[in-house]
Structure 1
Amino acid sequence: MKEIINPEKLVSVPFSKTDCGVDFYINTGKSVDISGVLTEYKRFRTDFFCFFFFRKANGFLLLNFRKIDLRDDMILLLSPHQKQEWHVDEAALDYTFLIFREDFMRTFIADKFFVYRLLYCYQTDTPPYLYCSPGEQAEYIRLLGKIKQELLHPVADSYNLIVSVLYYLLVIINRAYATAYQLPVEVPKNNYAFQYKDLLEQHIHTMQRVQEYADMLHISRISLNSAVMAQFGVSATHLLKQRLLEELKNELLFSDRTISQLADDFCFSDPSHLMRFFKQQTGKTFTQYLHDYQNGIYE
């Protein structure tokens, strides 16, 4: 089989406190404040969360390998390190944005798995957006206004207040998201499901068996699967395969790795095993998938 090489590169955009004009790894504002940044680069990724509360929207976003049509009254919830390619008329967009790094909350919130408890973060099965009513939108914007006020006029306890408001905002969005997509919102009996998600982010390149993760957590595969099912409504195997597939698609589309190199990168014993897995999950060969994407056929 002829090797596939995609030479296009990504631009990585880190959070810059200097550029944002704030002393914390968080900022909020209106679309006019950052006009031009969405289309400054053809394709880029960030190391921070990006939330957009659209009043008026147009065009679409290619997020990783998925096409998201942008609509009025949409809340777009983007996690770090996702590939973004905006096809919009920025001058016609009207939104409020919220950007923050995960470690911004670490001093105040001891729960290291907090972002994994948010159903819209690092999600592969449900869309990274939801629609809101005018009342909900107004409440979100009100909370963002409180954060902005503290950023503009910081005092001794501003950090605590900002994190408190951010925490509340993220949780009420999570409730709305769970309702919109009928996701479980049970109080977890343990952290196994969230630890599993965290481990997937760290080891998906080298570990593709649920048993390996169960061993790392010192529990049985059955216990891990039960915890994942209760928390996310899918099996541990499904979560692993979807995360692996997500990473494979991104590497195929946005790196210069060949199929043989990808097989090595992801510890497949042979390129044919990798190709068979990909075909089983997508119904397409690597060549077909890349060809479709390059010709505007997105998921």
Structure 2
Amino acid sequence: MANGKRDTKFEPDDSALRLAVLIDADNAQAAVIEGLLAEIARFGEATVKRIYGDFTSPGSAQWKKVLNRHAIKPVQQFAYTTGKNATDSTLIIDAMDLLYTRRFDGFCLVSSDSDFTGLALRIREEGLMVFGFGEKKTPDAFRNACHRFLFTEVLRPVAQKAAETTPAPAAKGAKSAKKPAKAVPKPAAAEEPTEQDFPRAFVLEALDKAGDDSGWAGLGAFGSYLNKLQPDFDSRLYGFRKLSDLVRARTDIFECEERAVPGADAKVLYVRARER
């Protein structure tokens, strides 16, 4: 007989954010879906997963192969007229309907289209989290309208990244007017960002603001401040899987120190700018 009490052993993730994942099929690639969903799982539970597009068009064939596997609900949207994107309108209307149900803690908007900037701002006004996912071509307006923005390039499978950087072999029997010089394979290091790519001044400014009077800041506080100032900051863009890996490796910029947590068998990483 039921006693009216909830069996909490089936609810280990009560504190997880309930997220609505809305994907613009016209401005996202199916190849990143596994990495995308894994990344979203770090923030919370994807209780709604919908994708919007015209799935009768050849361009959507890539998505048809993965929708059932990942339990993503397709929302068919025919193009009413040439040059107008009906998909965006349908996604925005659905997002507002979901917003007013008050059942969600945040939204994941997957697109590289700046048309969703207003939607992101409206969701933030309701006090909900907004996570954006798009390519590096995404305009700054949409990136900065999100609490966090992640580039989908870092979510691609390793095999796909390697294929994109490997030059295609010449067609057999193909002739050229001028025999080109022997191609030199691009070294693996060329894929790593250069010092010029690393936003050194921005990172040091954020560290200064997050630190205490002595300049030390906990890694968590430092990372949180970085994302508040620049929602699309991601250590993976600079060749490091985690922020902790980045600060430990860049000994030319940072000093690191692990401190024991009082009353617990754990340590917290602290970081400060290295004196020059």
TM normalised by structure 1 equals 0.25
Q: Which has the higher helix share?
A: 1
Higher RCO (C-alpha under 8 Å, 6+ residues apart) = 1
Larger radius of gyration: 2
TM normalised by structure 2 equals 0.27
